[in-house]
A = this chain, B = another copy of it.
Amino acid sequence: MKRVEVGEAWTGVADCRHCVVRNAVLFAGLTEEDFSHLHRPIDQLSYSAGARIYDAGDPAQTLFTIRSGLVKLTQYLPDGTARIVRLLRKTDLFGLEAMIDEEYPHTATALRDTEVCRLPVDVVRTLSHNNSRLFNELMARWHKAVGTADRWITEFSTGSARDRVARLLLWLSEKEEDERCELFSREDLGALLGLTTETASRTMAELKRKGFISEPRPNQFLCDTPNLRRLVGL
C-alpha cells in the first residue's frame, strides 16, 4: 500500500476564547457574551496534504478559518481546465460564499497538512446581525478576497512566464519573515499562473540558473528579492 493516508479528521471542539490565532481571525471582535450565545460548538478539523476540503458544487454550509497549513481554491472550466484562483494560509477565511450561495464555487484542497475551524454559516449570520465588529470584520474579509483576486489577475495572469513566476515568488516571500518560501508541485505552480507544468518547471530552472533563487533544501527557495523586484520593474 503506497497510498499515503489522505483525509479529513475531527480533532476536537474549538475553544475560540483561548484560540492561539484569536486576535487575527474572524471572531476577533467577539465578546464573552457573544460566545455564550454559541450553542452549537465550533469544530476543529485537520486535513492531510492533498485532501479535498470541499468540491465545487457541494452544498455550502460552513465557513473555514485556517489555523495552520495551506489551502488552494481551484475553479474549473467546462473543458476541464483547472485554474487555481486563491492560496490561503494561517488566519485566512474561506468558503465565505456560503453566506450567500447554496453551493461552493470552488474546490478547496489542502496543499500541506492543514488545520481549520469550521464555522456554521447560520452561526456567523446570526452573530453578524447583532455584532457590528463581526459585521465589519466580515466586510473586511470580502474586501480582502476581492483585492487578492484582482492581484491574481494583474500579477499572476499578465506578462511573460518569467514575470509571473517572479511576482509569485515575491508575493510568497512577502508573507514570510525571511525571504524563504516553500513551494508546491510544478503542476500547481502552472495551474496558478496559467502556464503548463513544463513551462513552470523550465522557468524555475532558469531563475535558479541566473541566481534569482536558490534551493537550500528540496522545494524550499531563497529569493534574491531585490533582483527579483528589479526583474518585474520595481
Chain A: residues with CB nearer than 8 A to chain B? 75-81, 83, 85, 96-97, 99-101, 105-106, 129, 132, 135, 138-140, 142-143, 145-147, 149-150, 152-155, 157-159, 194, 232-234
Contacts and interface: CB of A to CB of B under 8 A. Distances in A.
Nearest to A145: B146
A158 B157 CA distance: 8
B150 A81 contact: no
Contact of A158 (B77, B105, B154): B77
9 contacts: A77-B154, A77-B155, A85-B150, A105-B147, A146-B149, A149-B149, A152-B153, A153-B153, A157-B158
A100 B154 contact: no
Give the number of times this chain occurs in the complex, counting copies: 2
Contacts of A194: 157-158
Given A105-B147, A142-B142, A233 B79 contact: yes
A100 B150 contact: no
Contacts of A155: 77
Contact of A78 (B97, B99, B233): B233
Contacts of A99: 139, 143
Contacts of A139: 99-100, 138-139, 142
A143 B147 CA distance: 13
Contacts of A234: 78-79
A77 B159 CA distance: 10
A101 B150 CA distance: 15
Contacts of A79: 232-234
A143 B101 contact: yes
A194 B145 CA distance: 21
The 4 closest A-B pairs by CB, nearest first: A79-B233, A157-B157, A149-B149, A142-B142
Nearest to A231: B79
Given A135-B135, A153-B153, A158 B81 contact: yes
